[in-house]
Amino acid sequence: MRRLDGKVAIISGSGRGIGRELAFKLAGQGASVVVNDLDEAPANEVVTQIRDAGGTATACVGDVTADEFGERFVRTALETFGGLDIIVNNAGYTRDGVIQKQTDEQFQAMLDVHVSAPFRILRAAAEPLRTMARKEAAEGREVIRKVVNISSMAGTHGNAGQINYSAAKSALVGMTKTLSKEWGRLKVCVNCVAFGIIDTRLTQPISGSEASIPIGGQPLHTGIPSAVRDALLDSVPLGRAGTAREAADSIYLLCVPESDYISGQVLVVSGGLSL
């Protein structure tokens, strides 16, 4: 039997990278998945691949920082699949710079995508989760649901040049621990995964042809200087960066029934790296 048969999952930022791998993983284990990306093409591509493999998925395209997105994201799951069991707040990006060179807009952008967007998604889910939990309790059933927020070692340990990103990802840890206390009575486990160096477009070495993310109609170049990346990799005990699939697998661990008594925790996934 597949581990997530009958479950419904929403994953922000799941058209590419770690989110994409997680969408395939959850769908392969029986979950119905709502796929999100800024752009229609990658979201629809993931949905098509899931369906072609015999899974169930639909797309909810849009910017997670939009005021109405959280409500629309949750509503898509409820109206399309009739429930909501797994919420993964994965969407995000970086805009690095030392503090004296950071603008207010640059700092606020990280709070918008890494703090306000997850908050709105979770707030939108609150009443549906309360309603489902009350109904199940009245029927004498216990249904465990999962929230996994994606943080970073920048949020747990700090990282030079990332005061905006570190502050936002640290706030997400606080959100996780608070919500695990508020939603425990609803049988919702709320956890956080803090990644070290994972091979995605955000961590590729800068070479002059780096990838970009369209933010506010403008391309935001991604990647880190090769020397910085090499130094970090030298300090990873396992000797390499993690893959997007390995990262997705760590999130998956907090979505399956085997983790039904784990809540309020931060899982650091770093290959042994400790900054």
- Which residues are part of the catalytic machinery? 165
Cα distance between residue 165 and residue 194, in whole Å: 13
How many C-alpha atoms does 48 have within 13 Å on its Cβ side? 6
* Secondary structure, 3-state, the chain: CCCCCCCEEEECCCCCHHHHHHHHHHHHCCCEEEECCCCHHHHHHHHHHHHHCCCEEEECCCCCCCCCHHHHHHHHHHHHHCCCCEEEECCCCCCCECHHHCCHHHHHHHHHHHHHHHHHHHHHHHHHHHHHHHHHHHCCCCCCEEEEEEEEHHHHHCCCCEHHHHHHHHHHHHHHHHHHHHHHHHCEEEEEEEECCECCCCCCECCCCCCEEEECCEEEECCECHHHHHHHHHCCCCCCCECHHHHHHHHHHCCCHHHCCCCCCEEEECCCCCC
Is 243 exposed, middle or buried (CB count within 10 Å of its CB: 0-12, 13-18, 19+)?
A: middle
